[in-house]
């Protein structure tokens, strides 16, 4: 193997992994506040289509990403309203959000399929994805607000007793998650594969969900996990192209199996999982008696 | 009063016969959305062509995004129940479902794309896309400088394997040093993954990208990397003008129009159609004059003519399999039976078909 | 003076009146929003709603199809309620369904030329085992390694789907199928008997109703059902009462997996008749919604499965008769779910206006 080949592979891995990092870090913040949002795939699709439509209409990349993030905020806002104020079941509501997002994105994008656009270079976003992970990490472990957010995810009753607004903090965390998912979607439709096609995120939202656990709810590990996931996919393609034979399904399966193994390894140490997993995940909070 | 009108209309129908008969209803079952710019899109183009040809004598309906499972039976049946006279089911895995419904509706005609089982009221049809692959192979053999071709394959089914072999046989004929790098992505449809595969192949030295997946992501990736590509299903030149050499286009329109006409005329009969360039079911998109030398374009056009008049066949012997066994003797062409079930690579392709 | 915003107070018991009213409120809201959407898209709202909700079930065949679609949803949902009642979030029913289809279907492929009365019962049994085994993986991981079951069960869905993919592309491919990714068809006695001539509703419906009845009995009349409920409400109380949480987790997952496995087997040996890669239109995921909508109660689940099934059929009819794209069907379904889920609030909590003075 020569250096060019390796650098080339590295480039492809960076480009392919970036959407996983965005969606993963967004969902991580949401989960860290104690809310599980299974609507990642739906929010990514709506983000992807709205960025594409705005780009076609206005020609402005800035507006495209801006509106896309706005769409993520609206989608996740809907989810937040349901689970925080109406206290609906988080798992069912997240699944419903995905169904809704799949439908909404296909309907909005119908007439834009096959419109050619000029793709944007991915490198800004690749760098930004690293930056945002470190910002989130800094926020969690070096700022008071981050500490409060983690406390809310850990024990909402204690946080409430200390006078913090559980609902407000969770609301903001959900919105952040939504905007990151939408950013991941718009990166896919504008930079990664510049086009709009129905369902074009092709299951990356579900991988992002796996990623958060894989990372044991630690921001910098989302980055590592995402690159292992992305790397495995690209590596198997390279092996195939080199003429090695193996059933592709087993390589496609690898990220999921790896997640389970990592989960087992980290969870078997009860203390360690306690330190990282938000204890109040999926448990609704209400200010009743 | 009402009775008189009823009488009159009955009289009119009898008097003027078919000229005033109800238009025949033609229904389509699509696996994806008609806007996918790939497989389903071309079936929808065919549907529209049929409408334009037959005018008022037919009306058409389609059901999109119908999964290839138990739901398909209901979808097909709904078309049958709502008075459709002719139903096209446009994906291979609708096979059993099509037959299940057809059994109960002997008077309705069914057409199942890419299937291999017929019945009295179920015809099958497919296109010899491998003829187009031969031309692509020939072009690639001349155009490549690195002697490396990157091929993005979807699933290891005969259709895809046939394409790879036809491509390689033609390419290695003009350029014996040619090497094929094949990536199976195990999806028809994932723009991101298709782009990754294209970039991986380019990174490994491929300077021509061939795809057997649905979106134009590979062609876009080739454009960005400054290498050549062949499109799939429809003309993709507008998405990658500096990479696109040509595409194999699936042209279903004339077949659809012919079959619908037969239903209108009452002459429809079942059968198995596997047409190619000769009937215009497989068409090459305009060759890119900016990228290809005129002489090569002329060779490609000559090849089309030869395929159309039967003097050229992509699978002409001698053809050996990877084990070196002669599978098609010199001077013969591969029988359709072998092509239909093809699941081996010809000699010279590295690796094995995933099983 | 009352405060401007109501505050929410937990009800000590879920309101019986609200149990009845909430679905109605949700449906009314859905109809209103639906009408607005259809008007905006340029469709006659009355006709559109008729097409969505009435036309699919206006024929015997349509009603039969409603049951065909609702059967796997109800069966999986009732299985899921064993888990959810105990606050075990198994969201991997799709994988357990797939494993059931693989195990049971594998028997069907093995005995593809055997016609015997024992074949179908054996397939159902092995299918249940397959689903249960797949369900036990997250149970073992949860109890032995303390692993979060939401994620392991979800990950196992994809693993199961890829295994099915591998089997039908590779070793189980039909030798007479021109290398297409599908298995041999099962023999006639490996198929679910149809209940009525010419309709697709099959014996799986009877199995489902039976298992729902059994579950109702277990939930309301047995100690095991009581244990599930108590440990769901308060794990601590359950521990004091001497219930073994590990056993409960195992049972809940095994039962849920077995039910999903039977649903998967019923799907492949019922309407499909062989194995291929795309056997389930996400029944395992949709059933999660059905379980919550039905509030984990057998009767509720029956109704919820019918409602959800109807939205699927309605979306197809809307495409056929109104040329409403399938996407609108999804949007509409999402809305129905939002309303139903959101309106739950009124059942479990009540709104009060606090006196400020």
- The count of domains in chain C is 1
* Whether residue B141 sits in one domain with residue B101: no
- Domain chopping of chain A, boundaries: 3-276
Predicted confidence (pLDDT) per residue in B226-263, tens digit: 999 999 888 888 999 999 999 999 999 999 999 999 99
Q: For B64, which of C170, C273, C319 is closest by C-beta distance? A: C319
pLDDT of residue B11: 42
Q: What is the mean pLDDT of residues B264-286?
A: 94
CA proximity to C99, closest of C232, C280, C225, C244: C280
Domain that holds residue B146: 130-246+315-340
Cβ within 8 Å, pair A264-C10: no
Q: Is residue B183 within 8 angstroms of chain A, CB to CB?
A: yes
CB C293 within 8 Å of CB C341: yes
Q: Which residue has the tokens 């591998």?
A: C166
* Whether residue B206 sits in one domain with residue B325: yes
* Whether residue B217 sits in one domain with residue B155: yes
* Whether residue B267 sits in one domain with residue B119: yes
CA proximity to C137, closest of A256, B247, B131, A103: A256
Domain that holds residue C80: 64-294
Q: Is residue A275 within 8 angstroms of chain C, CB to CB?
A: no
pLDDT of residue A288: 45
Interface test mutation site (partner C, options A24, A78, A86, A160, max chain C beta carbons within 10 A):
A86
Report residue C297: phi and psi, to 5°: -110, 135
**Cα C135 to chain center, whole Å?**
15
CB contacts < 8 A (A, C): 155
- The count of domains in chain B is 2
* DSSP sequence for B2-61: HHHHHHHHHHHHHHHGGGGSPPEEEEEE-SS-TTSSSHHHHHHHHHHHHHHHHGGGEEEE
* Whether residue B205 sits in one domain with residue B162: yes
The per-residue pLDDT of chain A, averaged, comes to 89
Any domain includes C53: no
Q: Which residues of B touch A194 (CB under 8 A)?
A: 220
CATH ID of A3-276, from 2.50.20, 1.10.3470, 1.10.260, 1.20.120:
1.10.3470
pLDDT of residue B12: 43
Cβ within 8 Å, pair A197-B220: no
Tell me: cis bond preceding B318? Omega within 30 of 0 counts.
yes
Any domain includes B199: yes
The top-scoring range by mean pLDDT among B28-37, C26-35, C79-88, C122-131 is C122-131
Q: Is residue C319 within 8 angstroms of chain B, CB to CB?
A: yes
Predicted confidence (pLDDT) per residue in C161-194, tens digit: 989 988 988 889 888 877 788 899 999 999 999 9
Any domain includes B300: no
Any domain includes C126: yes
* Whether residue B166 sits in one domain with residue B75: no
Cβ within 8 Å, pair A193-B217: yes
Cβ neighbours of residue C111 closer than 8 Å, sequence gap 6 or more: C119, C187, C190
* Whether residue B333 sits in one domain with residue B213: yes
Q: Is residue C276 within 8 angstroms of chain B, CB to CB?
A: yes
Q: Is residue A200 within 8 angstroms of chain C, CB to CB?
A: no
CB B23 within 8 Å of CB B56: yes
- Å between C279 CA and nearest CA of chain B: 5
* Whether residue B155 sits in one domain with residue B260: no
Q: Which residues of C touch B335 (CB under 8 A)?
A: none
* DSSP sequence for B314-349: TTBSPEEBTTS-EEE-TT-B--HHHHHT--SPBTT-
Predicted confidence (pLDDT) per residue in A205-259, tens digit: 988 988 888 888 899 999 998 998 888 888 888 888 887 766 667 777 777 887 7
* Whether residue B70 sits in one domain with residue B164: no
* Whether residue B155 sits in one domain with residue B106: no
- Å between B106 CA and nearest CA of chain A: 36
Q: Provide the whole-model pTM.
A: 0.90
pLDDT of residue B227: 96
ipTM of this predicted structure:
0.90
Rounded to a whole number, what is the distance in angstroms from the first to the last CA of chain A? 66
Predicted confidence (pLDDT) per residue in A12-55, tens digit: 999 999 999 999 999 999 999 999 999 999 999 999 999 999 99
* Whether residue B157 sits in one domain with residue B197: yes
Any domain includes C16: no
């Amino acid at each position: 193997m020569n250096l060019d080949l390796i650098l080339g592979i590295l480039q492809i891995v960076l480009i392919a992994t970036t959407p996983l990092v965005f969606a993963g870090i967004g969902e991580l913040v949401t989960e860290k506040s104690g809310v599980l949002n299974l609507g990642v795939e739906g929010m990514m699709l709506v983000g992807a289509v709205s960025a594409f439509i705005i780009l076609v209409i206005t020609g402005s990349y800035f507006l495209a990403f801006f509106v896309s993030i706005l769409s993520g905020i609206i989608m996740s806002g809907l989810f937040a309203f349901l689970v925080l104020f109406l206290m609906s079941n988080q798992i069912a509501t997240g699944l419903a959000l995905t169904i809704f997002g799949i439908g909404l994105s296909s309907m909005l994008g119908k007439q834009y399929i096959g419109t050619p656009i000029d793709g944007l270079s991915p490198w800004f976003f690749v760098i930004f994805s690293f930056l945002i992970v470190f910002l989130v990490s800094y926020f969690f472990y070096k700022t008071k607000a981050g500490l409060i957010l983690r406390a809310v995810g850990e024990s909402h009753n204690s946080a409430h007793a200390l006078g913090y607004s559980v609902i407000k903090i969770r609301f903001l965390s959900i919105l952040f998650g939504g905007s990151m998912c939408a950013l991941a979607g718009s990166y896919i439709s504008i930079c990664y594969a510049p086009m709009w096609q129905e369902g074009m995120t092709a299951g990356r939202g579900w991988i992002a969900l796996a990623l958060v656990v894989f990372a044991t709810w630690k921001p910098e590990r989302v980055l590592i996990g995402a690159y292992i996931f992305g790397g495995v996919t690209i590596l198997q393609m390279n092996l195939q192209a080199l003429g090695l034979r193996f059933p592709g399904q087993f390589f496609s399966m690898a990220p999921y199996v790896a997640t389970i193994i990592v989960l087992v390894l980290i969870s078997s140490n009860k203390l360690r999982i306690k330190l990282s997993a938000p204890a109040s995940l999926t448990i609704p909070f209400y200010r009743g008696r | 009063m009402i009775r008189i009108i009823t009488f009159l209309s009955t009289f009119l129908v009898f008097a003027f016969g078919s000229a005033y008969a109800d238009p025949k209803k033609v229904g389509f079952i699509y696996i994806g959305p008609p806007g996918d710019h790939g497989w389903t899109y071309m079936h929808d183009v065919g549907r529209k062509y049929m409408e334009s040809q037959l005018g008022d004598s037919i009306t058409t309906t389609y059901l999109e995004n119908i999964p290839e499972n138990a739901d398909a039976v209901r979808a097909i049946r709904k078309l049958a129940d709502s008075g459709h006279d002719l139903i096209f089911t446009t994906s291979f895995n609708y096979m059993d479902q099509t037959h299940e419904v057809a059994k109960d509706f002997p008077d309705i005609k069914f057409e199942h794309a890419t299937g291999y089982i017929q019945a009295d009221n179920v015809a099958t049809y497919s296109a010899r896309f491998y003829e187009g692959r031969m031309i692509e192979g020939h072009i690639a053999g001349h155009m490549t400088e690195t002697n490396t071709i990157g091929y993005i394959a979807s699933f290891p089914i005969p259709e895809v394997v046939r394409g790879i072999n036809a491509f390689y046989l033609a390419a290695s004929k003009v350029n014996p040093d040619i090497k094929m790098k094949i990536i199976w992505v195990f999806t028809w449809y994932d723009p991101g993954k298709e782009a990754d595969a294209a970039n991986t192949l380019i990174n490994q030295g491929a300077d021509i990208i061939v795809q057997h997946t649905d979106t134009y992501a590979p062609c876009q990736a080739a454009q960005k990397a400054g290498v050549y590509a062949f499109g799939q299903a429809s003309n993709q030149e507008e998405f990658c003008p500096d990479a696109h050499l040509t595409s194999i286009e699936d042209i279903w329109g004339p077949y659809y129009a012919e079959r619908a006409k037969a239903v209108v005329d009452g002459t429809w009969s079942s059968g198995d159609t596997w047409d190619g360039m000769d009937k215009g079911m497989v068409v090459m998109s305009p060759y890119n004059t900016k990228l290809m030398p005129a002489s090569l374009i002329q060779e490609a056009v000559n090849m089309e003519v030869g395929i159309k008049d039967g003097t050229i066949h992509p699978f002409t012997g001698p053809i050996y399999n990877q084990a070196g066994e002669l599978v098609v003797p010199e001077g013969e062409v591969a029988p359709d039976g072998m092509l239909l079930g093809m699941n081996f690579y010809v000699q010279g392709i590295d690796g094995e078909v995933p099983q | 003076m009352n405060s401007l915003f109501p505050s929410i107070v937990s009800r000590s018991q879920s309101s019986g009146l609200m149990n009845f009213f909430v679905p109605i409120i949700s449906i009314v809201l859905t109809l209103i929003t639906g009408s607005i959407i259809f008007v905006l898209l340029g469709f006659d709202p009355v006709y559109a709603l008729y097409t969505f909700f009435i036309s699919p079930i206006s024929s015997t065949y349509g009603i039969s199809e409603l049951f065909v679609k609702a059967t796997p949803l109800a069966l999986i949902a009732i299985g899921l309620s064993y888990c959810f009642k105990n606050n075990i979030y198994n969201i991997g029913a799709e994988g357990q369904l797939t494993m059931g289809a693989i195990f049971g279907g594998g028997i069907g492929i093995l005995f593809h030329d055997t016609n015997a009365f024992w074949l179908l019962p054996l397939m159902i049994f092995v299918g249940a085992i397959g689903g249960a085994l797949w369900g036990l993986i997250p149970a073992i991981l949860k109890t032995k390694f303390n692993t979060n079951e939401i994620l392991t069960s979800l990950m196992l869905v994809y693993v199961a789907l890829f295994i099915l993919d591998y089997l039908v592309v590779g070793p189980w491919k039909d030798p007479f199928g021109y290398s297409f990714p599908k298995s041999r068809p099962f023999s006639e006695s490996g198929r679910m008997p149809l209940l009525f001539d010419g309709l697709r509703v099959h014996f799986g419906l009877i199995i489902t109703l039976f298992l729902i009845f059994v579950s109702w009995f277990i939930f309301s009349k047995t100690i095991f059902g009581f244990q599930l409920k108590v440990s769901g409400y308060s794990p601590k109380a359950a521990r004091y009462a001497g219930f073994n949480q590990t056993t409960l987790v195992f049972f809940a997952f095994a039962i849920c997996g077995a039910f999903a496995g039977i649903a998967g087997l019923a799907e492949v040996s019922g309407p499909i008749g062989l194995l291929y890669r795309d056997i389930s239109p996400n029944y395992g995921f949709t059933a999660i919604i059905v379980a919550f909508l039905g509030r984990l109660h057998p009767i509720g689940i029956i109704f919820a499965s019918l409602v959800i099934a109807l939205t699927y059929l309605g979306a197809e009819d809307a495409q056929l008769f109104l040329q409403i794209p399938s996407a609108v069907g999804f949007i509409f379904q999402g809305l129905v779910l939002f309303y139903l889920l959101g309106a739950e609030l009124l059942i479990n909590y009540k709104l009060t206006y606090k006196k400020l003075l």
